[in-house]
Structure 1
Amino acid sequence: MNAFPELGPAPLAFITGASSGIGQALALRCYQAGWSLAMVARRGASMAQWAAEQGLDASRYAIYEADVADTESIIAAAQSCMQQQGLPDLVVANAGVSWGVDTARREDLDVMQQVLQVNVLGVAATFHPFIEPMRKRGSGRMVGVASVAGLRGLPGHAAYCSSKAAAIAYCESLRGELRGTGVSVLTLLPGYVDTQLTKSNQYAMPFLLSPEAFAEKAWHLIQSSRSYAIVPWQMAWVGRLMKIIPNALLDLALENRTRKNRHLETLD
């Protein structure tokens, strides 16, 4: 079943984190499918350079500089989008950060606060401006990009895992709130994707996907009526196992696992 059964010739996608990685790859996939783009990130110059390199038609995209960690900033970008391009048919809350933390260190509490601000509140702030307009229109698709890491806590990943678990629960709550309005919510849980956020990981990353490969799989899920999906399918089986494995076995399996680096550079 298609999630967009009655769209016109040039539907609009609003995508955060569009300056690199998953967001950029999703933007290109949408464009290739004939969609117009509202690309959002902190680095406007990077998005402009990429769009020029790709030869994108300037009439089919707009760039909005915004930081999802700043609620008023992302709301302003959304409002500008609706004024300049109209109400999107698709909103993808993708921007995120990933740092390892050590709760024994006081400074890492501040890092954790920032991760939660971006990865949880940033998703809600991205969706917020569009909810009532989409509800009144009676259609729309909201996609929250979470992570398989949100299924269980991993040593050294307390900030990231907890933020993605919260994002999963938030999207599920929003889906229930919008039931029957014509506005649907899809929660995407990527496994490992080869982006700047994972390049410094010093541990095995099974079933690693390129951003383009992930975007292709995600695009088909966005077009479907699915409300929840883990990508790729192999990682879905890992996710199911993670949910049911007893704590003692999980702790044993992760006992000597290399932890995530602390305080990586912020990327969107």
Structure 2
Amino acid sequence: MKILITGASSGLGAELARQYASSENELILLARREEKLQQLQKELQSLCKDIKLIIADVTQFKDLQEKLRVIESLDMVILNAGISLGHSYSQTPTIEEFKNLYDVNVLANHAILEVLLPIFTAQKSGKIAFISSLASLFSMPSSKVYSSSKRALNAYAEGLRYKYTPYGIKVINILPGFIKSELTDKNEFKMPFLLETKEGVRLIKSAIEKEKAFYPFPRRFYLFIRLLSLLPNFFVQKVVNRFSDR
């Protein structure tokens, strides 16, 4: 299987590469940090059928697309690249921060798929796996920009699924809770149901293999969020206030 993984230089992306590294798989690892990618390539090259690197900043859309055009066939893309602004109740993100986050978390995914979808449709096969977040289902004041970007990603994934299912293309949307990574390392609060990187990625990989259209986890955290969304607004406001430093 030939697999493209974005955001592969660290965190979930690097662990995804490790867990997909096998003699049956060809990996294409994409990220902007060349040194880290080369270290990962060195670590995994003896385990893989083949492993190639694409050094690209996903916000540089034209350059990104040009570098992707070398791909002639592909079985799966895991759209993992993402950033957050951390959690701050007191600071308002600048418009530059807001735009950059949307460029990475939302628009880059379309830039990539604009190149890859013709390959998948011609093959009449392929898997597209999005790494969204449980934060997309409930927006705290401190994560409003990140949450809104992931909610937009959910809507985009849903629309793609409806359009491309007749072409034999599987669209999979994964919504993890907190998993240890560079993204969560900056959080200075207690993260409920925090998973170790290997375990979180094992669950992601399992959901992809089972072709889950929508997979939120950990389940207890997801059910808590679902319950909260069903409660009256005044009660939800009290819960949010309880955890907000205003």
Partner of 1:67: 57
Change (3 A) 1:182 1:196: same
Partner of 2:99: 113
Secondary structure (helix, strand or coil) at the match of 1:73 reads: helix
Amino acid at match of 1:24: A
- How far apart are 1:102 and its partner, in Å? 7.3
Partner of 1:24: 14
> What is the alpha-carbon root mean square deviation over aligned residues?
2.2
Runs of 5+ in structure 1 lacking a partner?
A: 1-10, 260-268
- Aligned residue pairs total 245
Match of 1:151 among 137, 159, 178: 137
Q: TM-score, normalised by structure 1?
A: 0.84
Q: Which moved more, 1:220-229 or 1:162-171?
A: 220-229
Partner of 1:7: none
Secondary structure (helix, strand or coil) at the match of 1:52 reads: helix
Secondary structure (helix, strand or coil) at the match of 2:62 reads: helix
Identity of paired residues, percent?
Answer: 27
Alpha-carbon distance in structure 2 between the residues aligned to 1:211 and 1:257: 26
Partner of 2:28: 38
Secondary structure (helix, strand or coil) at the match of 1:64 reads: strand
Partner of 1:265: none
Partner of 1:184: 170
- Larger RCO (CA under 8 A, 6+ residues apart): 1
Alpha-carbon distance in structure 2 between the residues aligned to 1:144 and 1:244: 26
Deviations 1:59-78 (A, max 9, x none): 51001011111211321232
Amino acid at match of 2:68: A
1:1-268 equivalent positions in 2, closer than 5 A: 11-32=1-22, 34-54=24-44, 56-57=46-47, 60-80=50-70, 82=71, 86-100=72-86, 108-257=94-243
Q: Which moved more, 1:101-110 or 1:242-251?
A: 101-110
Amino acid at match of 1:168: N
Alpha-carbon distance in structure 2 between the residues aligned to 1:62 and 1:102: 38
Normalized per residue, the structure richer in helix is 2
Change (3 A) 1:243 1:77: farther
- How far apart are 1:14 and its partner, in Å? 0.3
Matched-pair contact (CA < 8 Å) for 2:4–2:27: yes
Matched-pair contact (CA < 8 Å) for 2:9–2:33: yes
- How far apart are 1:241 and its partner, in Å? 2.1
Deviations 1:223-249 (A, max 9, x none): 113111012222221332243233322
- How far apart are 1:105 and its partner, in Å? 6.7
- How far apart are 1:53 and its partner, in Å? 3.2
Secondary structure (helix, strand or coil) at the match of 1:198 reads: helix
Alpha-carbon distance in structure 2 between the residues aligned to 1:94 and 1:156: 22
Alpha-carbon distance in structure 2 between the residues aligned to 1:220 and 1:102: 33
Alpha-carbon distance in structure 2 between the residues aligned to 1:207 and 1:173: 30
Matched-pair contact (CA < 8 Å) for 2:22–2:47: no
Amino acid at match of 2:136: G
- How far apart are 1:128 and its partner, in Å? 1.8
